[in-house]
Amino acid sequence: MRRPIVKPVDSARSRYPRRRQNRKKMIGTQALWRLLVLAVLAGQNYVWAPALRAETAPTKQPYSEFLVNLQNDQVKRVDIESNGLSAVVELKDGTRMAVDFPGRDSELIKRLRQRQVDISVKAPRQASPVVQVGSALFLPVLLLGLLVFVLRRLSNGAGGPQTLNFGRSRARFSPEAKTGVIFDDVAGVESAKEELQEVVTFLKEPDRFTTVGAKIPRGVLLVGPPGTGKTLLARAIAGEAGVPFFSLSGSEFVEMFVGVGASRVRDLFQRAKENAPCIVFIDEIDAVGRQRGAGIGGGNDEREQTLNQLLTEMDGFQGNTGVIVIAATNRPDVLDTALLRPGRFDRQILVDYPDYKGRLEILKVHARNKKLEDSVSLETIARRTPGLAGADLASLLNEAAILTARRQKSAIGNLEIADALDRVKVGMPKRPLIDSIEKCKTAYHEVGHALLQTLLPNTDPLDKVTIVPRSGGIMGFSASLPDEEVGLETRAKILDIITATLGGRACEEVVFGREEVDDGAGSDLQKVTRLARLMVTQLGMTELGLAAWESPNNEVFLGRDLMPTSEYSEDLARRIDRQVRAIALECYAKAKHILQEHRPLVDFLVEELLEKETLDGEEFRHLVTNYTAIPEKPLVGATF
At 74, the amino acid letter reads Q
Specify which residues 474 forms β-bridges with: 470
CB 562 within 8 A of CB 543: no
Query: Cα–Cα distance between 386 and 353 in angstroms, integer?
Result: 9
Residues catalogued as catalytic: 446
Distances (CA, A) of 102 to 87, 135, 230, 337, 520: 11, 33, 89, 87, 89
Question: Considering Cα of 385, then 386, then 387, then 391, what sign does the dihedral take?
Answer: positive
Query: Cα–Cα distance between 574 and 603 in angstroms, integer?
Result: 40
Query: Cα–Cα distance between 23 and 215 in angstroms, integer?
Result: 56
Residue among 127, 53, 57, 117 nearest 88 (CA): 57
Non-local (6+) Cβ contacts of 359 within 8 A are 188, 381, 382, 385, 386, 388, 393
> How deeply is 293 buried, as exposed, middle or buried, from its count of CB atoms within 10 A (0-12, 13-18, 19+)?
exposed
CB 151 within 8 A of CB 157: no
CB 291 within 8 A of CB 334: yes
Give the end-to-end CA distance of the chain in Å, rounded to a whole number.
90
Q: How many CB atoms lie within 10 A of CB 190?
A: 14
Secondary structure (H, E, C), 9-26: CCHHHHHCHHHHHHHHHH
